[in-house]
Amino acid sequence: MAWFRRHPVWTVVLLVALVAVVLVGGSAITVWRAAHHDGAADTDRADAIVVLGAAQYNGVPSPLFQGRLDHAVLLWQQGRADLVITVGSKQPGDRHTEAESGAAYLEQHGVPADKIVALPTGHTTYQSLQAATNEMQRRGLHSAFLVSDPWHNARITAMAGDLGIDGYASATWTSAAESETSRGEGYLRETFAYLYYRIFGD
């Protein structure tokens, strides 16, 4: 205690560092646990399946996006929901949006066109989920399987809950992010993204 009284500045620095370690460590544990839990195991059905967008190239989903879409097709084939929602805008210069590209891919793989809603809105995860939530609430829907990559599970589930939707994250493990390096980067990035969201919101 005497050391702390003699070095008040260092005491503050150490306390701040300790709080930072606790916050980052807690966020990392939350992200890791959520990544290894499939929300589809918690419920048999939901009102919708929401597929978070990713890059597309001239209307063709990137391998990362395709992995998510294939997982949505699997959930659809299992009879988990009666509606699939794709979200995501486009980058400058793109002719197609992520939502439109995803919808076309789903239709090509057996999901009826009248059971797909493409919402070409959102440059961020929060904006995309907000668009999906607005559409679901307009239809009187309240729950959804959220399809993305595993390390996103904690953040998208939190966002869905904050937006008023019962979200069950059901991630794909077969996207392009299969190497240890890419997955490690995903967990690291999401650790800080989840922490940022919990502190500052969208």
Q: What percent of the chain has pLDDT over 70?
A: 88
Residue 95: predicted pLDDT: 87
Stretch 124-132: mean pLDDT: 96
Domain spanning 38-176: CATH 3.40.50.620? yes
pLDDT at 186: 84
pLDDT at 17: 72
Helix, strand, coil abundance in the chain, percent, nearest 5: 55, 10, 30
Considering only CA atoms, which of 73, 149, 159 is closest in space to residue 116? 73
Mean pLDDT score of the chain:
89
Tokens representing 102 are: 């995803």
pTM: 0.89
Q: Distance between CA 14 and CA 74 in Å, rounded?
A: 49
Whether 180 shows a pLDDT value over 70: the answer reads: no
Per the DSSP assignment, residues forming a β-bridge with 119 are 87
Identity of the residue numbered 52:
L
Helix (H, G, I), strand (E, B) or coil at 92: coil
Percent above pLDDT 90 for the chain? 69
